[in-house]
Amino acid sequence: MTIQDMRIAVIGSGRMGEALVRGLIRSGAEPQNLTVADPDSVRLEQVAAQHKVMTTADNTAAARDADVVILAVKPALIPAVAAGIAEAVGTAKPVISIAAGIPAAVIEAKLKTGARVIRVMPNSPAEKGAGMAAVSRGAHATENDVAAATAIFSAVGLAVVIDESLQNAATALNGSGPAYFYLVIKALTDAGVELGLDYDTAYGLAHETMFGASRMLKYAKKTPAELIEAVRSPNGTTAAALDSFAADGLEDIIARGVRAASDRASAIEREVKEGEGLA
């Protein structure tokens, strides 16, 4: 089944839920095949006016009429929302969750036995069609379910399939990763200002340089290490900066930060499982 043919229910009309709707329509989904469910009537009016999709305050009705159900609510609400749509979903359609830290097993326990759950970790650039999503199958999901989820999240960027045991590592990279990039841009901008540039000029130089470097990574068919060496010249300015970074252990600092994010994701999972009696 293609995106054009899918009837998709998005439960939750927050930023990521709306980003998915926008991306799906841009990729050819028919607005009348998309239903957004949310208790906030004002928000539903905004989404309907902007995207011409179907809306409802009834999660069960949205799930019943869909081929695929996407849970795009806050993690704390996932167990209750899943339990509320259990009858409507049954085992006939996949349920995709984008909630950080909520294992597929927790959702499966709230649905009917044999429910087909897919867990996805998207990231915020999906709002601009440049997202990166990690897709994992639950215990009963099929290859077709994985293909459907991958197609949906490819509509707002790119998607890769990983084992669920690696979701916390993915969360630390793609889920939290945009914040690391923004921090680098901020640090470069602040350094430029300290060296005498005005803020707008420093920010423009930093941002556009990083944008160009990202495109080089994507299209140059070279590794990051090879591209570093292409910029570095002996005794040059780049070498001076890179030597300073190495002396301060920059790569180790980044690795420790990513590990801390992954450890926190694992802790959240344990807490959720314990709270649901699944530990």
Determine the pLDDT at residue 213.
96
Q: How far is CA 36 from CA 53, 81, 171, in A?
A: 7, 14, 25
DSSP labels, 184-233: HHHHHHHHHHHTT--HHHHHHHHHHHHHHHHHHHHHS---HHHHHHHH--
Residue 268 to residue 273: CA distance in whole angstroms: 9
**pLDDT tens-digit series, residues 9-48:** 999 999 999 999 999 999 889 999 999 999 999 999 999 9
Determine the pLDDT at residue 60.
96
Residue 26 to residue 204: CA distance in whole angstroms: 29
The pLDDT > 90 percentage for the chain reads: 90
Burial class (CB in 10 A: 0-12, 13-18, 19+), 41: exposed
Determine the pLDDT at residue 272.
84
Mean pLDDT of 187-213: 98
Determine the pLDDT at residue 1.
66
Overall pTM > 0.85: yes
Determine the pLDDT at residue 279.
64
**pLDDT tens-digit series, residues 142-190:** 999 999 999 999 999 999 999 999 999 999 999 999 999 999 999 999 9
Domains of the chain as residue ranges with CATH: 8-167 (3.40.50.720), 177-257 (1.10.3730.10)
Mean pLDDT of the chain: 94
Determine the pLDDT at residue 277.
79
pLDDT greater than 90 at residue 3: no
Determine the pLDDT at residue 228.
97
Residue 48 dihedral angles phi and psi, to the nearest 5° = -65, -40
pLDDT greater than 80 at residue 278: no
In this structure, what DSSP letter does residue 171 have? Answer: I
